[in-house]
Structure 1
Amino acid sequence: MTASPHRSSDGGSLPPWTPERLPTLPGGGWASVPGTAVGVAAGDIKGNGADRDDVVILVAPGSAAGLTTTNAAAAAPCLWTRAWLPGKAHAVVVNSGNANAATGSRGAADVEAMAARTAAALGCPLDRVLVCSTGVIGVPLPMDRLLPAIDRACALHGDGAAAARAIMTTDTRPKEVAVAVEVAGHRLHVGGMAKGSGMIHPGMATMLGFITTDAVIDPQPLQDLLTDAVDRSFHAITVDGDQSTNDTVIVQATGRGPDCSPGTPGHDALRRALDQVCCDLAVMIAADGEGAHHLVTCVVRGLSDDRAARRAARAVVGSNLVKAAVHGHDPNWGRIVSALGQARVPGLDRLDLDLCRVPVMRHGQALSFDEARVSAAMEAPEVLIQARLPGEGLGVAWGCDLSADYVRINADYRS
């Protein structure tokens, strides 16, 4: 299935609050930003003998900010990374195939060993290395294979595309995007990559997101921009309602580009670019949900504010009944109303509801409509749900359908 994150409409994958899309860089990603370097290596982290890269080094010295999962069972790498952010960072070391979660004191020691090995190889302080892991929970890291792989990756002979593939687990495709915009005669770049397909219900946000920019900006203002961008993007997606132990989003700023400090024209440009990159990556994750055939986009206009509208939209795309109806191309709009009601959304007696741009409810009353026409429209790669209620809020959320393939993938996840 192919998502459509570049369409501007009342809904679709481009957030309605975006004034216009910034130009994307063809084939761009995390490494499109000046001042970055990438290394990848194969460490056989899962221990199944697979010949694939699964260790990544992302070098982008400068300011850094991040958000990690709010799950009470947060993995050891999340605890390490959140301790240093916002702040200065030199590199991020990432492994796929093992989450290093629910691993106790050994897991914490292994994270520090990963950071120390990376710092020694790159010649930077230990506290300038952030750590991320993704994969199976409850299994100790194979340090005898991981540490030598870190050494090889620190040669920095990789590229962004290879890194985007190396962090994948059940993903069916890599997720990358980069944008560029002119600021006071200088070119500002923001690039990113992400992984995530299942265990997606971010709350910070299994998903990992890595973003870089050449902006000149201090860590705390960068953190503020990232927090806002994540609320409108990664926090607005869901695949299965399960929050990961390892969700992390990190942004690094190399300082090779224009000044984007608060109060400068560059600050607004960076906000727009960061919002767009985060949104595009989030939509790619939702569209690549495990076993998914359809991206589901829900736009809610109304309610008290944008946050309330976004929460309502997420309740719709997170409903298993709505997701199953989308998979079956069944225009059962009653499930949408039920999801809004379960989320305690007020004013449903005045709800206007459209499914695939066909009006199915006005002022809380059902309308006659051509069900066969809507069912046929629901066969498209993206299914759009639009709800209007009293109020000035505006929110968008993205999810996917629920198929038998999701059950199959997760029933066999460790085999």
Structure 2
Amino acid sequence: MPLDLASLDATIAARRAEFAARAERSGRKDVFPFLELPRELRDQIYNYAFHIPDDRADRALRIERRHLKYFRPSAASILLVLHHEYFLLNRQIAREALELLFKNHIVYLSCGPYVLKQLLSRVEATGGPGKQWLRRIKRIELDWVTFPNLRIYPPERTEGKDKWYWEHDTHEVDVDYIRAAQYSGHYDEHDYEGGYYDDNFYEAEDASLYPTWPGRSTAAAAANPNDPFGFSTHYPFADPPTATANANATATDIDTKLELLVSLEVTPLFDYLASPTFALNSITLPLYFLSRASQNHRAVSRPGYTLPLKIRYWVRNCIHALLMLRDSASLREVRVKYIPWDVWASMEPADDLARMVERGVWFRDSEAGSREREGEGEAFRAVWAGLAERGACAGEARMGLVALVRLVKWEFDLNKRVGDELEVVFTKGSEPCAH
């Protein structure tokens, strides 16, 4: 319902004048009695406050893994972890504001999928009020600004030391002097305020902050303790591996870690969001496009891995969201913010955004002019390929989805965006032959 600001201002002004006259008669000067306003007016004020654009950067609105240690569900704690701390005036205001946030506004959730599922599960575990709060959530926007380095996923720590398959020796090495070292006693989750806090590290006693993963790599166990350098199996006259082969091996290993992350965290989260606990209407998530130079370079230097790891992660999320849209009775739309990967992508994008608005994001080979669109929409192509692998898309079908594509011009807001982007809204319906 649109806000009637004129009526709201007039009513508040009348109440303020009434309060001022009453305070003058009694000789008291006090704050405005907000809770004496009718609930309908308070709700309008809450909605108005939530409509005010938040000029803080996305990184300032993140939910961190360490929050799981101390999160105890209540209206106030939920508002605090969602960075709406300006409503923490008393318990009644917190409860009323939280209800309006979940019912009428997009809830921005920037954290890893495991952290998000744990927070929501704890809210549900409180019983009646918690379940009612979750049931009221209608629209969410997912993000993860502290996306981890998957070379060290999943983390394994015992007594503060990394245990990786290449660490066969028992010698400690002091790396305190190395900036951005993987771990130091000073650079852990106990650095609550400093710049060295890393959301993806933890100590042995904090195992609850991460999901339970399969057994650690067997490479270390398979290594011969009497031959730590592998000389017994090394043939010195063999041709050295090429740089491309090494890069591909690394990319393959990282892609395996990505699949582990998806299976341990992403899939359980979407299964939970699709459960009767929620009645979501809309899910928003990001996808990215590269600059033309970067995409061409990656296509040549990393065959099969043109998209960076973080984009491939969001491709997996988009696949889960579209499958949920297909199967859910309550979910009405999946919104994709198709945004530039960096400032170079905004200056020389690999994609023709105007053409994507005109022709859509289906990228079927049978479409007219499909050849001139080669290399365009790599993220969306990866989504359709992933759905096809799951048997959800047969041939060039797109699950009967309808997509509304809109160009969003950049308004020179450096805190939020770096260039023009697309807003793609997927809904269920009769799939058109052309956009």
Q: Which has the higher strand share?
A: 1
Q: Which structure has the greater CA radius of gyration? A: 2
TM-score by length of 1: 0.27
TM-score by length of 2: 0.26
Higher relative contact order (CA 8 A, sep 6+): 1
